Chain A
Amino acid sequence: MGKIGLYLCECGPNIAEAIDLDRITAEIKKDAKVAGIERFKLLCSEDGKRFVTESIKERGYERVVIAACSPKQHQATFEQVVANAGLNAHVFQMVNIREQCAWATPDKEQATSKALRFIRAAIGRVRYHWPLEQKEIECSPDTIVIGGGTAGIEAALRIAQKGRKVFLLEKDEPGGTRRDREWMAARVDALRNNPLIEVYEHCKIRELLGFFGSFVAHLETREGNEVQLKAGSVVLATGAVAFDPTGLAGYGYRELEGVSTVREFEKAASDASDGHPKSVAVIHCVGREKLGYCSGTCCVEAMRVARRVKEASAETEVTEFYRDLCLPGTEHDRFYHETAKTGVRFVRFRDIDVAREGPGLVVRYRQEDGSSGSVVADAVVLSAGVAAGPANAEFARMFNIPLDEHGFFQSEHPVLNPVGTVTEGVFVVGGCRGPAGALDATAQAGAAAGKVLSALVPGRRLRLETRTSEVAEALCVGCGICVAACAYGAATLNEDRHIAVVNEVLCRGCGNCAAACPSGAAQHRQFTTRQMDQEVTQILR
């Protein structure tokens, strides 16, 4: 198990005055488990680091315990020191006797006893530490982008560069729902003309295999051919769908002539050659209660309808029925005030009902103070939010990414890693991860590009996490409990051999599999049963 060297840092007076290091030295000597105990005034100083490196070499220590400050402060420092002495960084254990003892326990006697238990625990576990190998794999710098809307196109254009190819996969044609707009047409041209981007349209993805750095996608082209694509990362940009107000009580959508969604209304307005309507009512927040969230872009979209109607015919009366005006961003308050100035009427409602009476539609509303009123309109436009796309569930299964309660893809962390997912190397951008306007989608595409360009550099190998889990084949009964416990898709069942295996590239070392395994086959390399048993035994001794 090797000779263990114990280093005690005095941290000036910080540890030396609060903890009786002489007593600790005497007690540890009595235990006779270490080959040497070294004490130093300040181990993190240049002198201190040199002292550790040289004494490890001189005395031939094979395991090292350093009792000093928080590993948050100096774990990396001492791992480097240990490595400089020619040892594997994993045969080292740090003990926090400053923040957790000297600074937290005012009674010197108690602080000393506590520090002694911590040090014994570290000595106990470090006896069973073994060198862990830093593995590296070759990886592909290429990227598969799935979805050819704003988010997908912008991601592809940002990622494609010398040495990096992008495969853009689209079930239909690139351009998404904004295909008819001029700026989108220009972006689609840029996409198609980019020599580093291969566009596969009208294709269907059958399967995605592999892992970060080395994915393989199987797709079926429109002609029925199977194509295999290899890439190191995947960007999911499959978009969202407009909420469908069919069947929603009170709006008369698909029941009353003259009631339409924003998109239908705009399309009809651009096709129509006959006269302008006398009165238009635009209703905000349609379906919000059912969706359970505010999409954030529809209020502005609803006002844009009013502006276009007014531009075409200033005499047309336009009423915007809203519950709350959601105008995030620095430009939208102004847009609202300008809209109001064009004569558009804004009415806050609590309840609303659309009915046909004679030749026109009547919108009846009740306000928050209980008062009510009605407006006659030729056309009623429903401004609804966006909903998660129906294909998300299948992609979620294929990519092992959880969906949230609304059916959108979940980020790995909502704040810290908003475009990353639990499947490393798979990113989510645009409407498939939640309601997003074109600018939001573009920013998210940029974010995914930043992550891809930074994580996979042509010619650079991917360094893997060393503190991962493994399965002892002889003990594994193939029950699959670890497969269910693994959030990262790293543990899988080998059907042929009927055992579980851990993919080292995907494993993040969380230890869930080891905790869940009923037979002790799954083990975390730095938290083996042996190590933890020793640690706990010594603490409770």
Chain B
Amino acid sequence: MADQTTDVLVIGAGLAGVEASLVLANAGRKVYLVERQAYFGGNVIKSEEVFPNLECATCMIAPKQSDVIENQNVELLTLTEVKDVRGEAGAFGVTLLRRARYVSLENCIGCAACFEPCPVTAANEFEEGLSQRKAIYVACAGALPNAPAIAMGECLRSKGEECTACRDACMFDAINYEDKDEEREVKVGAIVVATGYRLSGAGLPDRLENVYNAFEFERLRASNGPTEGEIRTRDGKKPKSVALIHCAGRREKGYCSQVCCRYLAKFARYAFDKLEGVEVHEFIQEVSVPGKDSQRFLETALEKGVKLVRTKAVPGISANGSGVRIEFQANGKSESDEVDMAVLAPAIEPGSGAAALAELLGIETDGFGFFRTAGSEPATATRPGVFIAGCNSGPKDMQTVVIQAEAAAAGVLKMNHKDTETGPGEETQERPAGSGDG
């Protein structure tokens, strides 16, 4: 029992990881919040506006990010991954691997003077490749921590050249080419897994010039994005017509991702707000807008003039000059449509590396690769001491992610009181799947 600790490891610093960390830290727990990217905030910070009130997502989560940075109980470890997990609930030994940033978080003030002199350019992954960045870069304006990282694989130094352009430009002695990957051991009593989601490629057509996935379209609308919020086709034109295509990977994946109907309604509003006189055509099979605020949200978009087409299946998409041809079956007839731009809602699937992490943690996944929750416990994994928050256990809207993160924190806070009560984690009730109780 000597190795028992109440410290907590939170894996993934998106909305779920941040919320769980703050609840735990406010309860007095020491939290190691690890994030494999150089920035934190996850997928949320890609959105300009979010359901239901079209608030700016970046601005919404920024105060929570400040809380993380300022909270004495939270140690945020970016560019860090979990390498090994040993032990058991109450006394896990975890090996973390921190990859070299080559920029000192203590010295860097985020002035960005190092970007311009860097001679290397590469596609910016955060912007879905819609813009270029340098080899020393931040994901987007406003990314936190406010310090860049060097993609050393792209840096001329990795190719044997003695380039010191960024170091020469830095006035604060923040660039350190000697930085090394480092392993670190931490001991924790509980682990919260909050590794998020990605958009699936399942069922998507081959890449076409003016066909966008949901993240690409979000970045077009983002004021800190590649077009500073102006919706433009890849050749820089204002689209006169935009098609929104629902359920792009639903049949292939075998489940409804449940947030797409709402965000496509939001995309329709983006289009009407930014493109005067635009035509918006939505191709839909089933309208799925659960929750008390959702239908009104959808209706607001429809009232602005969306042409809603109910199709038998997901339409076929092909190039039509620089535009997009859409072929579909509706009311028993084959029809087609031509638009300047098409936006797809792909299925949501677990983030990359979820399967390997599940194995490392010794937790079960479901048939789709999502982490399985224990019985009807909403945030408990199948191994004692491990909890789950966010879209890695299934697609969710932001509100539900926050709820699950807070519930995961409750699970952790409850753990050390086994002696007093039979509560969650120890006694779980199986409810039949599809019972309508869920």
- A-to-B contact residues, CB < 8 Å: 11-14, 42, 44-45, 69, 72-73, 76, 157-158, 160-162, 178, 181, 183, 186-187, 190, 194, 196, 288, 292-297, 300-301, 303-304, 324-335, 368-369, 404, 406, 408, 411, 414-419, 434-435, 437-440, 442-451, 453-455, 457, 460
Contacts and interface: CB of A to CB of B under 8 A. Distances in A.
Contacts of B433: 331, 335
B36 interface: no
Contacts of A42: 109, 172
What are the 8 tightest A-B residue pairs by CB atom distance, in nearest-first order?
A446-B407, A296-B290, A335-B434, A443-B378, A447-B406, A301-B436, A328-B258, A450-B410
Interface in B213-262: 250, 254-256, 258
Interface in B382-402: 394-395, 398-400, 402
Contact of B289 (A326, A448, A453): A326
A325 B286 contact: yes
A443 B379 contact: yes
Given A288-B295, A416-B60, A450-B409, 12 more contacts: A158-B423, A294-B290, A300-B436, A334-B434, A435-B290, A442-B376, A442-B378, A443-B379, A443-B404, A446-B424, A447-B406, A450-B23
B109 A296 contact: no
A12 B420 contact: no
B289 A300 contact: no
A335 B432 CA distance: 11
Interface string B360-379: 00000010101000001111
B436 A297 contact: yes
B256 A327 contact: yes
Contacts of A296: 290-291
B398 A415 contact: yes
8 contacts: A12-B171, A158-B414, A328-B290, A330-B366, A419-B406, A434-B292, A440-B438, A446-B379
B334 interface: no
Contacts of A297: 290, 436, 438
Contact of B434 (A162, A288, A303): A303
Given A196-B420, A304-B434, A329-B258, A418 B402 contact: yes
B423 A157 contact: yes
Contacts of A324: 286-288
Contacts of A160: 420-421, 423
A416 B402 contact: yes
Contacts of A439: 376, 378, 431, 437-438
Kindly name the residue among A69, A178, A295, A330 whose own CB sees the greatest number of chain B CB atoms within 10 A: A330
B370 A454 contact: no
Contacts, number: 231
- The B contact surface, by secondary structure, is loop
A331 B407 contact: no
B378 A446 contact: yes
B70 A454 contact: no
A339 to B, nearest CB: 9
Given A11-B111, A331-B433, A414-B52, A435 B292 contact: yes
Contact of A333 (B111, B255, B290, B435): B255
Nearest to A337: B254
Contacts of A437: 436-438
B411 to A, nearest CB: 7
A447 B407 contact: yes
A293 B292 contact: yes
Nearest to B397: A415
A196 B406 contact: no
A330 B394 contact: yes
Nearest to B107: A45
A414 B53 contact: yes
B332 interface: yes
Contacts of A417: 402
A443 B406 CA distance: 9
Nearest to B438: A439
Interface stretch (B24-32, B124-132, B201-209, B274-282): B24-32
Nearest to B55: A415
B286 A326 contact: yes
A532 B417 CA distance: 50
A162 B420 contact: yes
Contacts of B52: 414
B413 A450 contact: yes
A438 B437 contact: yes
A329 B256 contact: yes
A368 B408 CA distance: 44
Given A304-B434, A454-B24, A326 B290 contact: yes
B292 A415 contact: no
Contacts of A196: 420-421
Nearest to A80: B70
Kindly name the residue among A72, A415, A449 whose own CB sees the greatest number of chain B CB atoms within 10 A: A415
A190 B258 CA distance: 34
A111 to B, nearest CB: 15
B111 A14 contact: yes
Contacts of B53: 414
Given A324-B286, A419-B406, A453-B410, A293 B295 contact: yes
Contacts of A416: 60, 64, 402
A73 B146 contact: yes
B431 A183 contact: yes
Interface string B49-71: 01011010000101010100010
